[in-house]
A and B are shown apart, each in its own frame.
Chain A
Amino acid sequence: MFDEGEDRDIAAGAAQDGPAAAAQVSADPTRGLIVRDVSHAFGGMAALCNVGFAVEAGGVVALLGPSGCGKSTLLRAIAGLIAPDRGEIVLDRRDMTRVPARRRSIGMVFQNYALFPHLTVAENVGYGLASRRLPRREVAARVAEMLRLVRLEEYGARLPRELSGGQQQRVAVARALAVRPSALLLDEPFGALDRGLRAELQDEFIRMQADVGITTVIVTHDQEEAQTVADTLVVMHAGRVEQVGTAEEIYDRLVSLFVNSFMGHANALPGRLAAPKTVTLACGPSLDLDRAPPFPRGAEVVVTARPEHVALGPPGAEGALAARWIRAAPIANMLSVDLELADGTAVKALVDRLGGPRHAPGEAVSLTLDTRRMHVFAPPRPI
């Protein structure tokens, strides 16, 4: 299928009807977190632009985007660390927009955790409880409970720097959850961990989140992580929400070239619409599409195809693009192949490792794009 229209209009549309989006995502629209029409600028530079999304109570949403897209700013606005210029933030039916951070009842896990270095693990976890002036005994009991939850019972008397990165992350989560917040915010919580540990802690986080059942917003630039941890993804770009949906919805129904290239790899081939259903690629050959994209004839377009939708064949195959084999790397039972078209455009293909084609670097091959699974977008506007 082909996507319709120019990406930004859709994104803005999605953002502008926040309540509708909320209804779409949330089973119980009266609970959970709703961000509506939030805009914010730092010294005249727009950081957030009419941003909106919703998380149902107990749901996990991931704010996904490259660095500088505004996702951390949005998280800080939800936490109350910045007051947005415009818009509304509603948590469990309470309008939080003007409530100071210290009274929002939100748990936050900071990037690099921001544990208090001079306080022990137990004191860190109990900090929020002590701020609420709970009796000492109650604090101690809750701290012990939280340390049990993150399996750090033995570590209460240690200082943060005496813990490993993964342990520190769990302390940060325990500290955020200790105060029984209405929502949990996490800023790149797995960013500082190495790959193996990251996967382990992501699993543990999912288990724990399900146990606690807390409304959660997680900021990440890693789409794999977002897919693993969150039910709903909010893809952000340049201070705007590009697309909201489950990982699968987004993967299959891309609204923009940006989302396409950000969610997994997309081979982008520039071209021109020669006929309603025909694109002449910049590298020469034409592709016949199965549906007419909504652009006038002669319009510049970008055709994208995922690596798994690229098939390889012998050189000179009919209707195929000539390419050269550059290198290949195995991924499970697949082979990721880097190719180069005649005009130098790089293309990635994902083929079967066993029984698939094998070539030496530099050898000529041909590639065929699965036209039914391709997307056509307007070319990116220069920013």
Chain B
Amino acid sequence: MTFRMTRRGFAAGAAGLLAAPMLPRRAEAAGSIVAAAFPGSWEDAYRTIMAPIAAEAGVDVTIAPALAQDQVGKMMASGGTPPYDALLVSPGQTAMLQEQGLIDEIDPSRLQNWDLLIDSAKTPLGPHVTVEVNGLAYNPETVPKPSGYRELFENPAFEGRFGVQGFGSNTATMAWAEIAKLYGGEPGDMQPVFDLLREKIDWIGAIGTSGNAIRTMYRQGEIDVFMASTGNVARLRSLGLPCEFAHPQSGSPAIPVAIHMTKGASNPDAVYAYMDAAISAEAQRQLAEPPSGYIPTNSEVDFTEIILEFVTPAQLANAIYPDWATINKHRAEWTAEFDRAVAM
């Protein structure tokens, strides 16, 4: 078959291309939505596992990579025409989105799998699809297993070997909140952390600006310990790197990840279908396997070997869930102060 292009056809095509950005963003095919996912392993997992499952339900999902905080920013900037139909965020962002009126409550009766969810995963704004358990990722070949956050700042074995991030990251924010407690801070008081940072700034191996940057450092052998979720560790292992997960003695901060429907979503039916797929046993069973190793929220799905290696159901039950309202209130101020504490 030959492809013949007439001048008229070319002109029409070119005009279409030029006009494309001005057209309504989403294709009009039935059941097609744009869903945000965190860049990196989440994006990969959702594209390879979730999208096909949703497609079976007749929903064409485009996975758009965006950090939780960026999703909030883009939603705030969109002025009534949301760039996403479904968001993937954690409670900190959920609170902000709710406050700004950017997400809608859902109707649980539209989700067939709703009743299979564990109780804590059922929220009025949407289902939790997993709980990330946080702790410390370390390289067993180069450093001893850290007992907790405090040891990182005190055992010379970790001097210059661990990497941290600022308050832009949820993982880091939760870790800093724990560290503040360990060094005598009341809830909402981050001063002990800033004092510690100022005192031990040269002790810290690397202060990165994103999770990806920190993980790249780890892969390059620049650092051997960092604040991480179990998912991060599973991912690095799947790349063939030696990596272990350590629960801090003070407890492991945990953070659920939820899917929300944006206000003004183009196709609520399709979003429901997508949510339903995300909490289905089929999807969660696959996502619980390497490389993602996400902890399931569907009660029918058992913890897989890789998850059990990091977290037992008992450990999950004892996990620490930070107070995101307090964090959100102080986040701006902490972010600014963090810059000042670490800047050269």
Q: Do A and B interact directly, with beta carbons closer than 8 Å?
A: no
Interface residues in chain A, defined as those with a beta carbon under 8 Å from any beta carbon in chain B: none
Interface residues in chain B, defined as those with a beta carbon under 8 Å from any beta carbon in chain A: none
